[in-house]
Structure 1
């Protein structure tokens, strides 16, 4: 989590970093709430107390993890480009 926050914080310029991080934090909180809601729709409890569709939830989490890794790789590639453009502009 910390390394992804450090990587993402390098995206905006210094002047916009505070507002960017506020919006980023809000999106993280909303995503956590949405994930809980989605998990609640997927997983159900059987009359005997066992959980149903828990395996499906595992597939969803793994899929989200793969998407996150791809997005982080794209951001990691774009951050040096943004830093180079900022250096050239100053």
Structure 2
């Protein structure tokens, strides 16, 4: 596979991932962390890091807006729920591994 084609496919997959996350606002970041070890915030941090490697200026809040599809504070207000004791226990147990 040509590198250009691979990059186009990877970009399309990333856009589909973001669209999937957008359609599943019911899935909380702590759920993602507990099941997959990464969340929307991790994607935002990775976005900033990759942009930085390419000398592209983008800050964390800008990256979060790309990943969340809106400003993070707005997403948090509309969709973020309080973590349950079970979610927090699983998160803390995973951190110790």
TM class, shorter-length: 0.3 to 0.5
Higher strand share: 1
Q: TM-score, normalising length from structure 1?
A: 0.32
Q: TM-score, normalising length from structure 2?
A: 0.31
Task: Please tell me whether Structure 1 or Structure 2 has the larger radius of gyration of its CA atoms.
Answer: 1
Tell which has more relative contact order, 1 or 2 (C-alpha 8 A, sep 6+).
Answer: 1
Higher helix share: 1
